[in-house]
Structure 1
Amino acid sequence: MKLLPRSLRSQITTAVAVLVAVVVALAGLVIVARIDHRDRADVDRQLAARAEKVHQDADKLLGQGDHTGDDDQRDDDYGGLLAGSQSLVRLITDGHITAQRGETPPVPLPIPTRDGYTTIEADGQTWRSLTQPLNPAGDRLEVLQDIDPIERRLADNTTIVAAVTLTAALTAAAGVWLLTRLLLQPLQRLRTGALTISANTTGPHLPAVTRPQEVADLSRALTGMLDQLRTSMESTRRFTADAGHELRTPLTSLGVTIETLQRNPHLPEPQRTRALETMSAEHQRIATLLTGLQALARGDAHALPDRTSVDLAELVTEATAHAARRHPAITYRLAAAESAMAQGWPAGLRLAVDNLLDNAALHGHPGGTVDVRLTTADDTARITVGDDGPGIPPELRQTMKERFTRGPRPRSTGSGLGLALVEQQAHLHHGTLHLGAAPTGGLQATFTVPTAPPCPPGHE
């Protein structure tokens, strides 16, 4: 709404001031109404008491007739009682006043048309009237009381309530304005910190806020969001840099081969065949490299689907069968896989197992054997893949987990991303990747992930 102030501090101050004004005004009006009701009830009780007294001596009032002089009022029994009390007693016969005692109003008061309590306005003066039958002859008795003091008291009390309401609202507004300055300081700190943040991933972070709880939660949420954005941005930058660096060589080689074919349309068939094979190999290298980089980038950015229950035994069995078809010259020996379930991403776990199986086939002995085993112990599943190749020296095993790292004497062309992808998936699944020596002398990679009970249907 356009009527609301823009700043949170002003909105809080306005809201509290209005709330205080409404509460104080309602409370004050209720009190004033109760006081006014009590005063008017007292007047009605007084009128009833006076009417009863006059009933007892009605003959005396009838005998004295109508007296309007001050001396008569002072000498008269009822005049002496009623004079100065702002009260008036009238006897009414056939619609005419036959007797009157008390404070005579400046203007004649109208004759009541019915019995009971009524309020009469005359010449700016307010009277409360009680009319009752006096005798069977049809005479009526009217007792009146000037209630202008009550009306003035009501007006004065209402004025006091209005003044108190205004004072309370202004005082509350001033107090809230000062308090919100202190309470909103954490938000101001967050705002100041946010203004200093730029696209630079090494830039400052949001200030840590511990109180109040709501602002602390907001600070943690914003910090987590910024961390994710920085991670995603860093992943994008790293992907761009890695892709540019690694694709330069195969693209250059591919371009040279294409240029050679273009300049030599009549190239002998053997050389042409070798050139095409080279181009096909470079294309496959580029495709494999991009696939690996994309997988790494998604993992770095945590762009992952929801976790589900994964049957590791089924996954390892299927992955081994597919690896045997990809590498027909290699013998894959899968030990009896134990039953194991894990919470994670099936595609990520399959990617890790596939890379371990391909890595063992490419770097093991030509036509050799790869041993695959799935075991469980202490709520942990271990997928072990061992080859019979030259292995990796102990001092280089940790380095081989880094991206674009290849051994000192590589036996096959590769992107150097295989073990890096496995290491990433191990981290994302709260597991580990350990490189050691296989019993056959080659490399043994152990991929470890926590096990979990299977999710019930419909709860994945």
Structure 2
Amino acid sequence: MRLSTRVALAVVAVVPLLVLASGALLIRLVAADLHAQQDAHLRERAAAVAPDARALLRVTAADRPAAEQARSRKLFASALDVGIRLVGPDGTVEGGPLPAASVALPAAAPRPVTAGAGGTRWRVLSQPVAGPRKGVRGTLWVFSPDAATEAQLRRVRLRVLTVALLAAPLSGLLAWAAAGRAVRPLRRLQQRAGGLDPRVSAVRLEHTPTRLAEVDDLARTLQTVLSRYDEQAARTGEALATARSFAATASHELRNPLMSIGTNLDILARYPDLPGDDRAEVLEDLRAEHARVLGLLVMLRALAQGDLVEEDTFVPVDAGELVDAAAADLRRRHPGARVTVSTAPGLLVRGWEQGLRSMTDNLLTNALVHGSPASGPPAVEVVLRRSGDERAPAVVLTVDDHGPGVPPEARAAVFERFHHRPGSPGSGLGLTLVAQQIALHRGTVAVGDRPGGGPGARFEIRLPLSGVRGGEPTPTLPLLRRDWLSAQRRQEPQGFHKDAP
């Protein structure tokens, strides 16, 4: 059933009830007004005939028949249109319209009351009347038929019932027309929303305000739902693209190391008596290929996680603690390396802690592996500080090494996937992961020469400093590029300063 029909039926059911209820109240008010007018007339007539009633009691007590008749005529003439009954010690005198003897009257009626049942009703008023002599007292009753009031009330009831019967269909038709007009914008909205198909068109719901709050609110809700659907569909598409790219990249990049591992295993199986030196060389190749496969899978997994991370995983991260932990882990894995760290306390970055730690680990490992001096132990200097720009405060991380450096023409290419110099032990994904995390956190990276004129490279990372207001960190901007794993690989010239193993 349509909404307009429901509204019309509801109005048809409710309006007559409201009219009848209002009519009942109106009848009570009209009855009260009519009785008030009738009661005022009774009091007026009672006040007018009271002197004649007293005079009649006086002549009756004096036993003067002629005067008694004259006073009776005068009493009835003063009563006009009401009935009179004077009850005295010597009898009762009555005239005019009176209730039948069978009608029960109250013992006294100092205020007008209604008497009678079934047939004609009467408004009755009584008041005591005292004669000139002591002990001569009587009661004056004044009667007015209630027929006129009842007739008027019947006419009012009939009119209320007629209005109720006429109001039901008329109000139903008007309500149906008004409801149909009111829901017309809702029907147009339904038609526009029903015509949307995200599989064949990118058109989304357009709504012109109708000044109907419910329709406009529903349109905004639908637009919000469709926008969230588009976001989730896009995220699902990104996830599928990342999964496909992960499978394709892993299949492509793992083919050679797995074939090499298979060849070495065949050699060991075919020549069980292989000399010790040759056997050791084969085992060393197996270990290197195993490490390469493992490192590649770890890096691909990290890139996939970075492409799929959501902003609600961003939390305030202490950059100083993160850099100290990464440096300590690097010293543990490379005991002979010289790693110096200088950090400032209280530098908070709002971000994905796992991604920031992975970025720092790969940046330090890259400097250690590819930035070793020609002679002597590898050395890395790490400095974490706050930028001097107060308008855009940032955390600045610099990593200096003592290797051959990065030529200016190759500084952009080092962040591409699988880009590494010949003979590099890395997977070619470490600095790509660094670039991914910098982009996710709205940061910047610069590659240059190590200050001081000596050999080596400097990587300088800038990340926005997290501001804290009222205990709540300021939110980051929306995430940027999300296709570090699924994007097509650029064909760049091979450089020689790249990533971590």
- Is it true that 1:444 corresponds to 2:442 in the alignment? no
The aligned amino acid for 1:260 is: D
Do the aligned partners of 2:242 and 2:307 also contact (CA within 8 Å) in 1? no
* Deviation (angstroms), 1:438: 3.5
Q: Which residue of 1 aligns with 2:198?
A: 197
| 3-state SS of 1:332 partner | strand
CA separation in 2, counterparts of 1:256 and 1:324? 32
Do the aligned partners of 1:254 and 1:279 also contact (CA within 8 Å) in 2? no
The aligned amino acid for 1:417 is: L
CA separation in 1, counterparts of 2:116 and 2:273? 126
CA separation in 2, counterparts of 1:174 and 1:108? 61
The aligned amino acid for 1:45 is: Q
CA separation in 1, counterparts of 2:423 and 2:433? 20
* Deviation (angstroms), 1:348: 2.4
C-alpha change, 1:427 and 1:98, in structure 2 (3 Å) is farther
C-alpha change, 1:187 and 1:371, in structure 2 (3 Å) is farther
Q: Which residue of 2 aligns with 1:67?
A: none
* Aligned mate of 1:101, from 77, 82, 96: 96
| 3-state SS of 1:122 partner | coil
CA separation in 2, counterparts of 1:24 and 1:356? 82
* Aligned mate of 1:117, from 113, 116, 138: 113
* Deviation (angstroms), 1:32: 6.4
Structure 2, unaligned runs of 5 or more: 58-75, 130-136, 211-215, 475-501
Within 5 Å, which residues of 2 pair with 1:134-153? Answer: 135=129, 136-137=137-138, 140-146=141-147, 147-153=150-156
- Is it true that 1:222 corresponds to 2:225 in the alignment? yes
- Is it true that 1:350 corresponds to 2:357 in the alignment? yes
Q: Per-residue displacement from partner, 1:291-312 (whole Å, max 9, x unpaired)?
A: 3333333333333554433222
Deviates more, 1:322-331 or 1:255-264: 255-264
CA separation in 1, counterparts of 2:12 and 2:404? 83
Identity of aligned residues (%): 25
Do the aligned partners of 2:450 and 2:457 also contact (CA within 8 Å) in 1? yes
- Is it true that 1:369 corresponds to 2:382 in the alignment? no
* Deviation (angstroms), 1:324: 2.6
| 3-state SS of 2:96 partner | strand
C-alpha change, 1:419 and 1:161, in structure 2 (3 Å) is farther
Do the aligned partners of 1:235 and 1:297 also contact (CA within 8 Å) in 2? no
* Deviation (angstroms), 1:53: 0.5
Q: Per-residue displacement from partner, 1:276-302 (whole Å, max 9, x unpaired)?
A: 554544444444334333333333333
| 3-state SS of 2:335 partner | coil
C-alpha change, 1:22 and 1:318, in structure 2 (3 Å) is same
C-alpha change, 1:98 and 1:333, in structure 2 (3 Å) is same
CA separation in 1, counterparts of 2:268 and 2:85? 134
Q: Which residue of 2 aligns with 1:156?
A: 159
* Deviation (angstroms), 1:153: 0.7
The aligned amino acid for 1:266 is: P
C-alpha change, 1:143 and 1:431, in structure 2 (3 Å) is same
The aligned amino acid for 2:383 is: R
| 3-state SS of 2:458 partner | strand
- Is it true that 1:236 corresponds to 2:239 in the alignment? yes
* Deviation (angstroms), 1:237: 1.9
* Deviation (angstroms), 1:225: 1.9
Q: Which residue of 1 aligns with 2:36?
A: 44
The aligned amino acid for 1:436 is: G
- TM-score normalised per structure 2: 0.68
Do the aligned partners of 2:205 and 2:223 also contact (CA within 8 Å) in 1? no
CA separation in 2, counterparts of 1:340 and 1:263? 57
- Is it true that 1:334 corresponds to 2:341 in the alignment? yes
Q: Which residue of 2 aligns with 1:406?
A: 419
Do the aligned partners of 1:309 and 1:454 also contact (CA within 8 Å) in 2? no
Q: Which residue of 2 aligns with 1:433?
A: 445
How many pairs align?
422
C-alpha change, 1:14 and 1:130, in structure 2 (3 Å) is farther
CA separation in 2, counterparts of 1:294 and 1:205? 35
CA separation in 2, counterparts of 1:422 and 1:152? 94
* Aligned mate of 1:382, from 390, 393, 396: 396
Q: Which residue of 1 aligns with 2:427?
A: 415
The aligned amino acid for 2:378 is: G
Larger radius of gyration: 2
Deviates more, 1:427-436 or 1:24-33: 24-33
CA separation in 1, counterparts of 2:283 and 2:4? 74
* Deviation (angstroms), 1:240: 1.8
- Is it true that 1:308 corresponds to 2:315 in the alignment? yes
CA separation in 2, counterparts of 1:241 and 1:415? 19
Structure 1, unaligned runs of 5 or more: 64-75, 83-87
Q: Which residue of 1 aligns with 2:266?
A: 260
- TM-score normalised per structure 1: 0.73
